[in-house]
Chains A and B, each alone.
Chain A
Amino acid sequence: MDETESGRTVRIYPLTRIPGRADIQILFSHNEEVEEARFRVLKSRKLENIVRGMPCSYAPLILSRSCASCGLMHALASSIAIEQACGVQVPPAAKALRELVSSLFFASTHITNMLYFMLPDYALPMSDSKVRNVFGIYNVEPEIISRIARVQSSFVKAISKVAGKSINSSFFIPGGVSTGVDEKLVSDLFLLEGLKEDLGEILNFLRTLLKGCSSVMDAGRPLRGFYFGVTDDDYPSFCGDSLTFASFSGEEKITLDKSHFISAIKNTQSEWTCAESISVGEYAPALTGALARANLGFDSASFAGAESSKCFEIWGHPFSRDSLSILAKGLEVIRAWERAIEIIKSESIVGEEVFVPFSFSQGTGCSIVESPAGVIVHEVALDDEGFIRDYRIATPLDFNYQMLNECLSNVARDVVSGIDIDDKESMRLMLCVRALNSCMV
């Protein structure tokens, strides 16, 4: 604990059940009331600094290692930015395969996140910290853990079949994808169809858990400000043409094209963390990620659309509690699975051209794509031989920083009763971090 003129600061460190290194600082007034809570990222490698001066074809390979939770999407964002700089149009089948692998990756990442990091908060909220983990749940409810793990394993296998590796794959390359799919591979992927019942059961399980968790669900205040995501025809999309903003207070949605979005971005270097805080014009604070995308909504004719309607009936639309993020992820897994099945069923991916050769040229490119954690932006400047002159990345954490700290402060005001923070209080604060920001690297 630190004592300053303005009050005392208590630190929760290390944070658990979340990848990366970070802490939470709680600032107390002299009469021991919470003034503010801050989430601090303590380490950020910024790999974009090492790609400067390198041939641009290395960028997707290196930048996918920025963060495993969004790795594949960094590779995609990097490839698209380079394609834009060099004026390359990728073939339609390559776009479809990119979307297929991205869908499978979203599903697999969300499930891993839910299973190992988020579920214990809801399944064992009153348990001792020694058993509040996936192994603790497995000891009392092995069937549901087996079911979730089986679904995760099906997605991982499907990614590996198409993209070679499930993590840090070299499948997304500037110009398209590294190889196409044949009928045999596609028929293997049809096994994914059998997951429908499991996915429905997992969502039912989540709904039941959340209904019984009022202590966790009711902490803090409803989120205020905006949520946003990349959209196509108003629905969330991996690399759609526009960005849609909507407010938690329910006003009309606003759609920006990509160039307006980029020009509205403002960076603020925070004095207490190595991450940057980004706001987008007057839309502040604004949230990106699974909760934001679920709020933007899925096609009502889809399985995910029908399931999300059931959830909105219970918890209202938009979801405005951090604790509902796990449900948003569950819904997104269903949508991602559905989209993958739609693509597998489309005739146009088998045996088609999936890569277009091209020459490097001087230019700049910018891409905006969705990753499991939210919107990422890659900007690249190339010289005429294809070497990288400059590279910049904006991550979901940069966008979410403001919202996360506001939410964290509200939760802290609500649950923290004094400077001796107990296990249950710190667990609830960490839940907020896990919910609004799924990684810290």
Chain B
Amino acid sequence: MMFVSTAEFTSCCGCLSSLLEVGEPLVSLLSEHSVSFSELVDFQDISPSDVTIVWGCIGDEEDERIANEVSRMSKKIIAAGSCAVYGGISARMQQLPSKERVPSSLSRFEPVDAYIPVDLYVPGCPPPGRILFEALKGTLEDYTPIHYDYTVCSECKRKCEKKHTGRWFKRNERIPVEGICFLDQGFLCMGPVTRGGCHASCTSRGAACIGCRGPSDTVLLSHLHSLYSDMLHYISISTTGKRAKPEKTLEEYIDLLYLFTLRDPVTKERPRERLPRTKEEK
């Protein structure tokens, strides 16, 4: 029997909900072990644990205190969700003047590994429950969970048939054709630069990928390790063939491109990726 825990920092609780959606396999797994501390049980005092899953970014001093305590008490830490892995949606708060942050004590919005060492990263907003569950089970049972080193495009069933050479469209302007790649139709889709594993769940239901699983290994290991550069490169070689147009398009979409990521685990020691700019700065 092992000791398992969960801890929450600044989050929307979507990662927790995603894990809970696993249902009986989760309840059955955790019943075989002992839960040391968690929002699922009536004891949250941080105590020794073999594995702790954490979600949310580090948003304030209390998060930092809990993170340090969790790190001291836990043998292994799984960072679950793009907030914990990259800072996520909340990290955009960094760009707000402090008076607009609520409450004002929320001031950091950093990924968890900016404060404590992390053993396993499971990005996604939220990560699919089955991936989170496998990460937990693998850590408890000492096997390596699947590493999703391919992109969303690899899982996407939309066909890439023709090259888009015309203008770019916003989603409100027209109805995308079913079954054809969004990029080919002139809609921005982040599938080529985003980590797979989600079964391309958005593109399979008519919505372009917004990159919630964070950068793919190719992006993280590339020369510039930048979503922007890799997306630009992909669009240049696969669509218009000219750099000027896609560059202009991506400038418009820069907020969307960096919705979930401000930095990443592999490139942490390197210079930060380009940050999105507000409308005023453009």
Q: Which residues of A contact B (CB under 8 A)?
A: 14, 16-21, 42-47, 49-50, 53-55, 57-58, 61-62, 65-69, 71, 108-109, 112, 115-116, 120, 129-130, 132-135, 138-139, 145-146, 149-150, 152-153, 156, 160, 162-171, 173-175, 177-179, 274, 355, 357-360, 386-387, 423, 427, 439, 441
Q: How far is the CA of A165 from the CA of B21 in the complex (A)?
A: 12
- Chain B residues with Cβ below 8 Å from A167 are 14, 17-18, 21, 126
Cβ of B92 to closest chain A Cβ, rounded Å: 5
Cβ of B254 to closest chain A Cβ, rounded Å: 11
- Chain B residues with Cβ below 8 Å from A427 are 42
Q: How far is the CA of A129 from the CA of B93 in the complex (A)?
A: 37
- Chain A residues with Cβ below 8 Å from B24 are 145-146, 149-150, 153
Assess the A19–B172 pair: CB atoms within 8 A: no
Assess the B172–A61 pair: CB atoms within 8 A: no
Assess the B125–A168 pair: CB atoms within 8 A: yes
| With A162-B205, A178-B205 as contacts: A69 and B13 at CB distance below 8 Å | yes
Q: How far is the CA of A46 from the CA of B60 in the complex (A)?
A: 15
Binary A-proximity of B13-27 (CB < 8 A = 1, otherwise 0) = 110111011011001
A112 nearest CB neighbor, chain B only: B20
Which residue, B11, B23, B28, B95, has most C-beta atoms of chain A within 10 A? B23
**17 interchain pairs (CB within 8 A)?**
A20-B8, A43-B59, A57-B172, A65-B12, A108-B21, A120-B42, A132-B41, A138-B27, A139-B31, A153-B21, A153-B23, A165-B202, A167-B14, A173-B207, A355-B175, A357-B174, A423-B42
| With A58-B256, A149-B23 as contacts: A16 and B42 at CB distance below 8 Å | yes
Binary A-proximity of B220-237 (CB < 8 A = 1, otherwise 0) = 000000000000000000
- Chain A residues with Cβ below 8 Å from B96 are 49-50
Top 3 closest pairs, chain A to chain B, by CB: A179-B206, A164-B205, A178-B206
Assess the B205–A179 pair: CB atoms within 8 A: yes
Assess the A171–B205 pair: CB atoms within 8 A: yes
Assess the A134–B27 pair: CB atoms within 8 A: yes
Assess the B126–A170 pair: CB atoms within 8 A: no
Assess the B93–A45 pair: CB atoms within 8 A: yes
- Chain A residues with Cβ below 8 Å from B10 are 43, 45
Cβ of A309 to closest chain B Cβ, rounded Å: 31
Q: How far is the CA of A44 from the CA of B105 in the complex (A)?
A: 11
Q: How far is the CA of A227 from the CA of B168 in the complex (A)?
A: 48
Assess the A439–B13 pair: CB atoms within 8 A: yes
Assess the B8–A19 pair: CB atoms within 8 A: yes
Cβ of A48 to closest chain B Cβ, rounded Å: 10
Binary A-proximity of B126-139 (CB < 8 A = 1, otherwise 0) = 10000000000000
Assess the B40–A133 pair: CB atoms within 8 A: yes
A273 nearest CB neighbor, chain B only: B103
Which residue, A16, A21, A177, has most C-beta atoms of chain B within 10 A? A21
Q: How far is the CA of A86 from the CA of B206 in the complex (A)?
A: 22
Assess the A17–B42 pair: CB atoms within 8 A: yes
- Chain B residues with Cβ below 8 Å from A152 are 21, 23
Choose from A44, A61, A134, A173 the contact partner of B40 (Cβ within 8 Å).
A134
- Chain A residues with Cβ below 8 Å from B41 are 16-17, 130, 132-133, 135
Choose from A46, A50, A129, A156 the contact partner of B42 (Cβ within 8 Å).
A129
Assess the B12–A16 pair: CB atoms within 8 A: no
Chain B 200-217 interface residues, beta-carbon cutoff 8 Å to A: 201-202, 204-208, 210, 212
Which residue, A57, A65, A138, has most C-beta atoms of chain B within 10 A? A65
* Size of B's binding interface in residues, CB under 8 A: 64
Cβ of B47 to closest chain A Cβ, rounded Å: 12
Q: How far is the CA of A272 from the CA of B106 in the complex (A)?
A: 16
Choose from A44, A133, A146, A150 the contact partner of B103 (Cβ within 8 Å).
A44
Apart from A50-B96, A178-B202, list 14 A-B contacts with CB within 8 A.
A42-B62, A44-B102, A49-B96, A58-B255, A68-B126, A69-B13, A108-B21, A115-B20, A133-B42, A138-B28, A153-B21, A169-B202, A170-B202, A178-B207
Chain B 1-55 interface residues, beta-carbon cutoff 8 Å to A: 8, 10-14, 16-18, 20-21, 23-24, 27-28, 30-31, 35, 39-44
- Chain B residues with Cβ below 8 Å from A170 are 202, 207-208, 210
Q: How far is the CA of A146 from the CA of B202 in the complex (A)?
A: 29
Q: How far is the CA of A63 from the CA of B96 in the complex (A)?
A: 16
| With A165-B201, A357-B175 as contacts: A61 and B44 at CB distance below 8 Å | no
A46 nearest CB neighbor, chain B only: B102
Q: How far is the CA of A61 from the CA of B257 in the complex (A)?
A: 13
Chain B 84-126 interface residues, beta-carbon cutoff 8 Å to A: 88-90, 92-93, 95-96, 100-103, 106, 125-126
Cβ of A41 to closest chain B Cβ, rounded Å: 9
A157 nearest CB neighbor, chain B only: B21
B259 at the interface (CB under 8 A from A): yes
Choose from A65, A68, A130, A149 the contact partner of B27 (Cβ within 8 Å).
A149
Assess the B255–A45 pair: CB atoms within 8 A: no
Q: How far is the CA of A357 from the CA of B171 in the complex (A)?
A: 8
| With A45-B93, A179-B178 as contacts: A68 and B172 at CB distance below 8 Å | no
B18 nearest CB neighbor, chain A only: A167
B173 at the interface (CB under 8 A from A): yes
B280 at the interface (CB under 8 A from A): yes
Assess the B210–A61 pair: CB atoms within 8 A: yes
Assess the A387–B279 pair: CB atoms within 8 A: yes
| With A19-B8, A58-B255, A68-B126 as contacts: A45 and B90 at CB distance below 8 Å | yes
Assess the B21–A156 pair: CB atoms within 8 A: yes
Chain B 255-282 interface residues, beta-carbon cutoff 8 Å to A: 255-256, 259, 278-280
B280 nearest CB neighbor, chain A only: A53
- Chain B residues with Cβ below 8 Å from A66 are 12
| With A45-B90, A149-B24 as contacts: A68 and B13 at CB distance below 8 Å | yes
- Chain A residues with Cβ below 8 Å from B27 are 134-135, 138, 145, 149
